[in-house]
Amino acid sequence: VPFFDLKRQYEDIKDKIGFAISEVLESGWFVAGPFVQKFEEEFAKFCGAKHAIGVTSGTTAVYLALKALDIGSDDEVITSAHTFIATAEAISLTGARPVFIDIDKETYNIDPEKIRDFIEEKCRWERKTKSLIDISSKRRVKAILPVHLYGQMADMDPIMEIAQKFGLYVAEDAAQAHGALYNNGEFRKAGSIGNIAAFSFYPSKNLGAYGNGGAVVTNDEGLAEKVRMLINHGQKEKYYHDLLGWNFKMNGF
């Protein structure tokens, strides 16, 4: 018995899928366009966030989230030791160094106390630059990238407290957590808590596409604008390229 029977899923909704595909074909908008824009608006609302930007994959989404935060070759990013390799790949592609922190034995998500231990035992605060510096590598620790596994969110409150104390960004890897809720007295959805978040729509994910795709989600208008530029060759206005960007736009299908 297939663990992911995507064909059976398709049989249940093939009329709707066929109609949706024909709509895209008839419109001529195969890349980005009104169908992607509508999806972005609905997904942002679903996540309880202000902005969602459709991209080519979940890995691309993590990479773009980090690039929007200006993560680069002089930096380190704290992340979970228990995650798919794409998390570490995205960090490494920015030129930064991943710092793997052990997990909580009950949840299998990154352990906030072990993040605190790493900072207190292996880092120092540099007053001049107001930066957290890894003593051994001499790199700046710039962000925490918690990974929400199996639909279960990381313990975000202590992570956000640590980030605020040491001036770190928080980028959520929510590739497996579409619609997941975090409860600290009020419910908040995955992707709406950190500075920025990344989702995957790989076919086997909680919310899968027929193809590949991802999204970057944020409440920060400046970060959203930067991601939109990065996925479109760095241009805000057509033929005026202000950033080094890529062709990472989501397709209409």
Single pTM value for the model:
0.91
Could you give the CA distance from residue 115 to residue 101 in angstroms, rounded to a whole number? 6
Measured CA to CA in angstroms, residue 50 lies from 21, 93, 120, 195 at distances of 27, 27, 35, 12
Could you give the CA distance from residue 152 to residue 144 in angstroms, rounded to a whole number? 17
DSSP 179: T
pLDDT at 1 (0 to 100): 60
List pLDDT tens digits, range 157-205: 999 999 999 999 999 999 999 999 998 768 899 999 999 999 999 888 8
pLDDT at 24 (0 to 100): 83
Could you give the CA distance from residue 107 to residue 88 in angstroms, rounded to a whole number? 20
Domain boundaries, the chain: 22-241
List pLDDT tens digits, range 53-70: 999 999 999 999 999 999
Phi, psi of 127 (to 5 degrees): -65, -40
List pLDDT tens digits, range 58-117: 999 999 999 999 999 999 999 999 999 999 999 999 999 999 999 999 999 999 999 999
Please determine, for residue 2, whether its predicted confidence score (pLDDT) is greater than 70: no
Name the CATH topology of 22-241: Aspartate Aminotransferase; domain 2 (3.40.640)
pLDDT band for position 134 (cuts 50, 70, 90): very high
